[in-house]
Amino acid sequence: MSNFELPKVMGFDLHQSPLRDLMMQDPMKIRPEGVGPLRDGGTAPVGPSSPGGFESFLADSVGKVAELQADVQAKTRGLALGEDVEVHDVMLAASKSEVAFNLLLEVRNKLVDAWEKLSRSSV
């Protein structure tokens, strides 16, 4: 059996996510967070809800990609040394690592693009 499990994406695990609670509510009462004042006088959260925010999320993501790459290296080394490693486990780990790396690369490209647009804008 392989240990191929994709990392959970927050909001898309319908059994254990806030999205499940939103699906159970009346559609007329659902509003996105960070849009402005609520009808009852309260305010919606504007920033990220987790401590550390985007910076810690990005650092964790880089760490997870590095872990996936180390896992591929260990499995490849084990396969080359004749240890009890299945070829399909190595291929799955390599594919998972490649997808995670490509996603991280695209996020980086979007951040660089956004920074370039901000630096070109006049204040």
CA atoms within 13 A on the CB side of 92: 11
Mean pLDDT, rounded, for 66-90: 95
106: tokens are 């695209």
Give the residue extent of every domain in the chain.
7-47, 53-123
Judged by DSSP in three states, 51 sits in coil
The pLDDT score that the predictor gives to residue 99 is 96
DSSP code string of 7-26? PPPTT--TTSSHHHHHHHS-
Pinpoint the alpha helices (H) of the chain: 18-24, 53-80, 87-120
3 contacts: CB under 8 Å, gap ≥ 6: 89
The pLDDT score that the predictor gives to residue 121 is 85
> What confidence category does residue 25 fall into, taking pLDDT thresholds of 50, 70 and 90?
low
The pLDDT score that the predictor gives to residue 54 is 84
Rounded Cα gap, residues 8 and 22, in angstroms: 19
CA atoms within 13 A on the CB side of 42: 6
Look at 25 and 96; give whichever has higher pLDDT. 96
Give this prediction's pTM.
0.55
